[in-house]
Structure 1
């Protein structure tokens, strides 16, 4: 029988790790046989990351860099072809719909076959997405739904495998640290990549600049595929349970009855704010360089914030740390009611960059701690990761549908402001659902 520890179960829980050569990424390949055997001094959140975790971080960093190079500008590119909020909303909706279906269907591949091939395929399909944008050029707007579906397929495959590997190579002792470093890498990519893209588009002009940055992203994704071959695969036990999510929700007292609606609430904000802020900056300034500068400033702030949160936020502080982050993320929307321009958007961006880590790090860590809370749930990690993503993407689709429905009726500034405040307040619901799951439970060893 697996030994119960204060952090969870067996190899999925409070194991300490001998540092090995690096894996980088937000989520790592789990319960690694080489996972470190060193000592953490009994302090949760302070354990070092092993080699596979650091290598996963590297793959994540490449994925983030490639996405940051062009992802920020895909919505702007579609907007320049056709000034239509609804078009971009539908592009986003079908991306999330396909992503959710990909998680659910590909879960069987990840559990019963080779999850590393799932990850590599996700990176490769990301490259295909940008290849399609390059080939379609200004005709991309006519194929927005198709492009959204391809992007969703790529993201679904990549993040499914990444999350499974993340769960396997981290434990409750080092998960906050890994999430902090992952956010740091994402912010680091966001500092330089969008600024470089904005500079190239401005300097080379319109179509030529866009084609160059899309080509660069394609190349970085190819490098990511190569690096991923250094990640070790691990056979997962059992067969894939297609309806595990529904089974878990039917169980009396299941923590997933709180976690799932929290994830839906988290996704509602992500679905809209993931594209609308960059688009509003371009509309306000008519300059890709201004969007690049915005990303540089906010990502630099985010880098420092993620670094500090990853280093100092202990599990026992998650509950109130997350509440502070949530409240501040809502308050920074209020300046939009004064005026929606580059200055207020920058105030918003810096505020979110400062406080978002207090929201996302506890949320992510607590959900993955829940997945590893028992030996049985750890064996079903693929199914629970699929469940997590179904919750997030359901929220993203709901948020995007609300956006499309409202914006189709009126695109007036005050309408947009109230819409952003309403959808942007959904993290409050996420905290209300999650607050009882944010305090780690100490269990006696048996």
Structure 2
């Protein structure tokens, strides 16, 4: 990787550190204000709806204007989210719609620009390595940041502890904006095609139909598991410190697994690696049916940390290889990045909607376990749609 790739990793790492530092505890913060799964589900749903719309609208910005400014604004709006939480305090639970919108807008602006620049600074031979490094840095931040956050909350108390970690996140986001100015201004090319997603999915025999469904299945799990597991750890232990330790242990495992996956997963191993990763991510949910406590949650967390890289690295690399498969796709890389993100967010929205419907009727342990198993089995569906695309030189 060249210096631009390394700088992009640095910006991604800072964005990740700030989000992990406080984002791990946002769901807990809302839960402590009001013990209601549905409230957190609605907050998450608004976030993903705003994110999807932002991706689609911001596609024109990154295509025709300065994509680096889009990335910087995304980081700055993330800082704004934590400023709002600090200002609203415990009343945040009464403002989940505007908070979810701000968080969704920030994520949409950051990731649409990040993913386009990621495509431009990598190639098929370096993408697995880049993804491995990104996961490695994410794991390193996960080892330190949530543990520190949990320790501060336990030591300083709810009010001061949460205010401090949200303030630290705000500062790290601002540092990320500063570092982003060292990234070069990217070349502008062409006009944004607003409805490429519709046109592409209407085409016969296009691999994007299979890939889009695989992305929906991937997002279906991410939408719920992204907030639910951390919340269950807190509910089981009633301690932010235990949640910090949970994330620390899992991130330490991820540190090793992402390093190994980034080093050893090559294009011709992607199909097998993704199947193994997806299968194991489903199997580690089964201990919940024996007993849902910190121990079984830790078994789940460690298992996912071990095998998630085998699932995500082939998935991400194969999709971006498809974007770069011909000259026409490369010229419309921004539109295809938006298509990818719309697929992921469609899945996230569907997953969260199912979650809200179920918990509105029942929150019994068995009901939640069955729900988690159904949603958590979607990586296998994702593999089924992706398996043809995981073969090298497939377009």
Which category of TM-score, normalised to the shorter sequence, fits these structures? over 0.9
Correspondence for 2:66 among 101, 104, 114: 114
1:77 aligns with 2:29: yes
1:285 aligns with 2:231: no
Cα deviation for residue 160 of structure 1 reads 0.5
**Aligned counterpart, 2:251:** 299
* Structure 2 Cα separation of the partners of residues 160 and 257 of structure 1: 21
* Structure 2 Cα separation of the partners of residues 249 and 371 of structure 1: 14
1:272 aligns with 2:243: no
Listed one character per residue, the Cα deviations across residues 130-171 of structure 1 (whole Å, up to 9, x for unaligned) are 000000001000001110110000000000000000000000
* Structure 2 Cα separation of the partners of residues 442 and 146 of structure 1: 43
**Aligned counterpart, 2:288:** 336
1:204 aligns with 2:204: no
**Which consecutive residues of structure 1, in runs of 5 or more, have no partner in the other structure?**
1-48
**Aligned counterpart, 1:390:** 342
1:245 aligns with 2:187: no
The TM-score normalised by the length of structure 1 is 0.88
**Aligned counterpart, 1:147:** 99
Q: What pairs up with 1:134-283 in 2 under 5 angstroms?
A: 134-283=86-235
* Structure 2 Cα separation of the partners of residues 106 and 177 of structure 1: 28
After superposition, the CA RMSD in angstroms is 0.8
* Structure 1 Cα separation of the partners of residues 49 and 89 of structure 2: 24
1:99 aligns with 2:65: no
Cα deviation for residue 253 of structure 1 reads 1.1
Cα deviation for residue 442 of structure 1 reads 7.6
The TM-score normalised by the length of structure 2 is 0.99
Aligned positions, number: 395
1:418 aligns with 2:370: yes
* Structure 2 Cα separation of the partners of residues 340 and 207 of structure 1: 29
* Structure 2 Cα separation of the partners of residues 295 and 421 of structure 1: 21
- Larger-gyration structure (1/2): 1
**Aligned counterpart, 2:323:** 371
Listed one character per residue, the Cα deviations across residues 298-351 of structure 1 (whole Å, up to 9, x for unaligned) are 000001000000001000000010000000000000000000000000000000
Cα deviation for residue 249 of structure 1 reads 1.2
1:358 aligns with 2:310: yes
* Structure 2 Cα separation of the partners of residues 429 and 328 of structure 1: 13
Q: SS at the partner of 2:388?
A: helix
